[in-house]
């Protein structure tokens, strides 16, 4: 998240831009079509600042480095996952810390814990052998 905090006037200015779908104090959510068009224009050779200026953004408000950051991220996303991913909102939909394992029954829990004990015993045996070799 950026360190920039937008004022009410700046939020209003950004929100009035057709290429912004949402704007808060600390973040701007760009429109899906803008992202796709920006990536295509960038691949055709336009610079990131030119693309954002043509779209009606004031670089003094959003930050001089923001266009380059955004296009770098969007371009990488297009290369890895395809253009369709830019058209969908993915924030808050997975990708975070994995949830704790929830066993369905006591038998599942016992099976998982037995496997964990077996793994730890094997690890201890390996470390014991390793220490013995180093001591030689």
Per-block mean pLDDT, blocks of 10 residues, the chain (136 long): 82 93 91 92 93 93 92 90 78 68 83 94 96 89
- The string over 87-110, giving b where at least 16 C-beta atoms fall within 10 Å of a residue's C-beta and e elsewhere, is eeeeeeeeeeeeeeeeeeeeeeee
29 forms bridges with which residues in the sheet? 22
Q: What is the pLDDT of residue 1?
A: 52
- What is the pLDDT at residue 94? 63
pLDDT at 102: 75
Is the pTM above the cut of 0.85? Answer: no
Say which residue the tokens 């045996």 belong to.
Answer: 125
**Crossing angle between the packed helical segments 66-81 and 32-43, to the nearest 10 degrees:** 90
């Amino acid at each position: 998240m950026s360190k920039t905090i937008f004022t009410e006037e700046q939020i209003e200015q950004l929100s009035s831009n057709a290429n912004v779908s949402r704007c808060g104090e600390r973040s701007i959510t760009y429109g899906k079509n803008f992202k796709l068009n920006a990536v295509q224009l960038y691949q055709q050779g336009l610079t990131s600042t030119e693309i954002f200026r043509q779209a009606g953004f004031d670089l003094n408000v959003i930050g001089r480095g923001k266009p380059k950051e955004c296009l770098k991220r969007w371009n990488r996303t297009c290369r890895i996952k395809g253009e369709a991913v830019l058209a969908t909102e993915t924030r808050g939909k997975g990708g975070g810390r994995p949830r704790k394992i929830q066993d369905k029954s006591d038998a599942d829990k016992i099976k998982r814990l037995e496997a964990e004990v077996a793994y730890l015993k094997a690890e201890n045996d390996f470390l014991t052998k390793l220490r013995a070799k180093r001591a030689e």
